[in-house]
């Protein structure tokens, strides 16, 4: 399953392109990370970078980016219109595909630990990752900015960071790390330089002052353009869409004799947000996103079911794999099915861990469940890949047996290739056996921290892991019969014995008493 997150680190540098290029280059050098955009603003003296990719890769990129920013940015010499407490001011993680908000919370906590461990930068957590209710809102964490926070940390216990010593990094300040839904940074520029008017409008529209839900806003002076700006963050654009915010800003502005002269999006915006605005302003009747050509084309190319059709049945998802296993051909065979059983066990374990950490009864185990979930995902990915690897390895054996043997040299070569391929076909199921035995043990340990209502699911997961392990062990055994290297065979047999000892009783016996 594809797992994607977005990360939008904010750096306190908006005037020196060379510094931002150095930071972005550091992050983009991490394999699997895609830099989707960067927005620099001289008045705000801030840069917003948008990147996406696999969670672990994006997390590492964010950490390295913060390290580079620490080297290049000195907050003692920084001033701008936007509040800031750190050289890397904010690092939010946003779930995109195959990832939950809880996953991003766990990732945020891990990144916070690493920022302190590697760079001695203290960390606050905010939004969904906040450890205290008063730190959910970013503005509370950032109150007083770099200079004010530096003084408050000396004697105000309530302002102590979540991770690190109660003092700022001398040049990089602190970093605020969090997890949240997709945020739209949306600004409306006014035909006045009076920032006081922008502040009054911002107060009228933001939720904390009685305005629109999911809206955070403040007035900003754009000195370079001679304008005032209402700077807005939409934390849930589907509940409070951009067009509704724009209309309220426009109406409030009329009270002071000013009008909007334009608006801007900082960073990226979901297509859905633009579709909603188009629907509103064009007054389209019965509009549906399926009427957008690109949406329809993407659905067709991905093989997604047509709109309004019956939902895809689970059996239809499983049928292609079952059909190829049932076909009268040697591969995929027992090795691939064993890997599939292990991958299924890991997937079911992920479900148990993910649902358990959402339950209030398991609140004390949230961090441990998140750690277990990460391990289960990695095991599942490796076992899923082994489904193909096992089939390909045995295909190599079949290929070796088909080599010609009409001369002594050809016979010798064929014997060598059969031996080499058979060893390869042994190593893959051995790896599957090792992973599934470890998985079986991990699932057994989950019983102590998983929700009681998930007991049967966890039991089924262990049974599947047991089946995958024993199937893989059987495939290793049968392949050993075709290998002449006595030392290799003895080494593998010792590993098999150790794995059987760890597996012990059957999964049924192991889980019956849980």
For the ranges 13-22, 72-81, 113-122, 260-269, the lowest mean pLDDT is seen at 260-269
Chain Cα centroid distance, residue 97? 8
Nearest-angstrom CA–CA distance, 259 and 483: 82
Q: Higher model confidence: residue 307 or residue 442?
A: 442
Other beta carbons less than 10 A from residue 464's beta carbon: 25
Q: Which residues contact 162 (CB under 8 A, 6 or more apart)?
A: 112, 123, 124, 125, 131, 135
What distance, in Å, lies between the first and last C-alpha atoms of the chain? Answer: 30
Q: Higher model confidence: residue 86 or residue 285?
A: 86
pLDDT in tens, 48-93: 999 999 999 999 999 999 999 999 999 999 999 899 999 999 999 9
Q: What is the structure's pLDDT at 236?
A: 86
Helical H segments across 283-332, by residue range: 293-302, 314-326
Cβ-contact 119, 175 below 8 angstroms: no
On the question of pLDDT at 308 being above 80, the answer is: no
Question: What DSSP element (H or E) covers 94?
Answer: strand 88-97
CATH architecture of structural domain 315-512: Up-down Bundle (1.20)
Long-range pairs, 496-503, Cβ under 8 A, ≥24: 496/430, 496/433, 499/433, 499/434, 499/437, 499/469, 499/473, 500/473, 502/437, 502/441, 503/437, 503/440, 503/466, 503/469, 503/470
Residue of 5, 7, 106, 135 lying closest to 370 (CA atoms): 106
On the question of pLDDT at 310 being above 60, the answer is: no
**Which one of 3.20.10.10, 3.30.990.10, 2.130.10.10, 1.10.730.10 gives the CATH number of domain 4-179?**
3.30.990.10
On the question of pLDDT at 374 being above 50, the answer is: yes
pLDDT in tens, 392-428: 999 998 999 999 999 999 999 999 999 899 998 999 9
| Residue 278 confidence class, pLDDT cut points 50, 70, 90 | confident
Nearest-angstrom CA–CA distance, 280 and 241: 10
- Tokens describing residue 388: 């193909």
Backbone angles phi, psi at 367, to 5 degrees: -65, -40
Question: For this structure, is 45 an active site residue?
Answer: no
Chain Cα centroid distance, residue 470? 33
**For the stretch 256-268, what's the b/e string if a residue is b when 16 or more beta carbons lie within 10 angstroms of its beta carbon?**
eebebeebeebbb
Chain region(s) in the chain for CATH 1.20.120.680? 315-512
Q: Which residues contact 202 (CB under 8 A, 6 or more apart)?
A: 217, 218, 219, 230, 231, 232
Nearest-angstrom CA–CA distance, 301 and 231: 39
Residue of 465, 448, 479 lying closest to 508 (CA atoms): 465
Q: What percent of the chain has pLDDT over 70?
A: 94
Chain region(s) in the chain for CATH 3.30.990.10? 4-179
Q: What is the structure's pLDDT at 473?
A: 94
CA distances from 49 to 27, 105, 265 (A): 10, 20, 13
Angle at 225 between CA 221 and CA 227, to 5 degrees: 45
| DSSP secondary structure string for all residues of 398-421 | HHHHTS--SSHHHHHHHHHHHHHH
Backbone angles phi, psi at 55, to 5 degrees: -50, -50
Q: What is the structure's pLDDT at 306?
A: 46
On the question of pLDDT at 461 being above 50, the answer is: yes
Residue of 269, 268, 193, 183 lying closest to 229 (CA atoms): 193
Cβ-contact 348, 464 below 8 angstroms: yes
Please report the beta strands in 203-356, taking only residues with DSSP state E, as ranges in sequence order: 215-222, 227-234, 260-266
**Yes or no: domain 184-286 corresponds to CATH 3.40.50.150:** no
pLDDT in tens, 324-356: 889 888 889 999 999 999 999 999 999 999 899
Nearest-angstrom CA–CA distance, 445 and 510: 11
Residue with tokens 């520029």: 189
Catalytic annotation, pick one of 44, 78, 82, 447: 82
């Amino acid at each position: 399953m594809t797992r994607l997150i977005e990360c939008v680190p904010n750096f306190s540098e908006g005037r020196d392109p060379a510094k931002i290029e150095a930071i972005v280059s550091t992050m983009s050098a991490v394999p699997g990370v895609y830099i989707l955009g960067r927005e620099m603003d001289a008045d705000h003296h801030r840069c917003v970078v948008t990147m996406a990719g696999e969670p672990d890769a994006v997390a590492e990129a964010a950490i390295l980016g913060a390290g580079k920013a620490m080297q290049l940015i000195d907050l003692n010499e920084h001033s701008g219109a936007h509040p800031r407490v750190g050289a890397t001011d904010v690092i939010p993680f946003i779930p995109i595909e195959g990832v939950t908000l809880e996953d991003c919370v766990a990732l945020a906590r891990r990144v916070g630990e690493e920022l302190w461990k590697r760079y001695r930068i203290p960390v606050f957590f905010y939004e969904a990752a906040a450890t205290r209710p008063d730190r959910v809102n970013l503005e509370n964490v950032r109150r007083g900015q770099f200079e004010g926070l530096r003084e408050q940390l000396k004697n105000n216990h309530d302002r102590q960071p979540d991770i690190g010593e109660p003092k700022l990094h001398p040049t990089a300040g602190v970093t605020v790390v969090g997890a949240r839904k997709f945020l739209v940074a949306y600004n409306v520029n006014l035909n006045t330089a009076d920032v006081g008017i922008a502040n009054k409008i911002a107060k009228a529209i933001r939720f904390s002052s009685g305005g629109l839900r999911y809206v955070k806003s403040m007035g900003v002076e754009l000195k370079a353009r001679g304008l005032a700006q209402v700077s807005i963050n939409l934390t849930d654009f589907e509940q409070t869409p951009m067009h509704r915010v724009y209309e309220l800003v426009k109406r409030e502005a009329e009270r002071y004799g000013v009008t909007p002269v334009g608006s801007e999006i900082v960073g990226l915006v979901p297509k859905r947000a633009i579709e909603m605005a188009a629907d509103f302003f064009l007054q389209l009747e019965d509009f549906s996103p399926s009427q957008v050509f690109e949406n329809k084309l993407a659905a067709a190319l991905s093989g997604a079911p047509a709109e309004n059709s019956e939902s895809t049945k689970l059996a239809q998802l499983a049928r292609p794999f079952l059909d190829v296993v049932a076909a009268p051909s040697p591969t995929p065979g027992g090795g691939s099915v064993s890997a599939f059983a292990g991958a299924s066990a890991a997937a079911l374990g992920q479900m148990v861990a993910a649902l358990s950490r959402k339950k209030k009864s398991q609140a004390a185990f949230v961090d441990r469940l998140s750690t277990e979930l990460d391990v289960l995902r990695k095991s599942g990915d490796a076992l899923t890949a082994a489904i193909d690897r096992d089939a390909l390895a045995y295909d190599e054996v079949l290929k070796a047996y088909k080599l010609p043997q009409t001369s002594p040299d050809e016979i010798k070569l064929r014997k060598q290739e059969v031996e080499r391929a058979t060893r390869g076909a042994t190593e893959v199921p051995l790896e599957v056996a090792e992973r599934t035995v470890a998985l079986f043990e991990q699932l057994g340990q989950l019983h102590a921290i998983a929700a009681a209502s998930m007991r049967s699911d966890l039991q089924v997961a262990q049974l599947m892991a047991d089946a995958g392990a024993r199937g893989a062990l059987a495939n290793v055994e049968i392949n050993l019969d075709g290998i002449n290297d006595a030392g290799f065979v003895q080494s593998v047999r010792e590993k098999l014995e150790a794995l059987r000892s760890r597996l012990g009783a059957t999964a049924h016996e192991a889980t019956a008493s849980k």
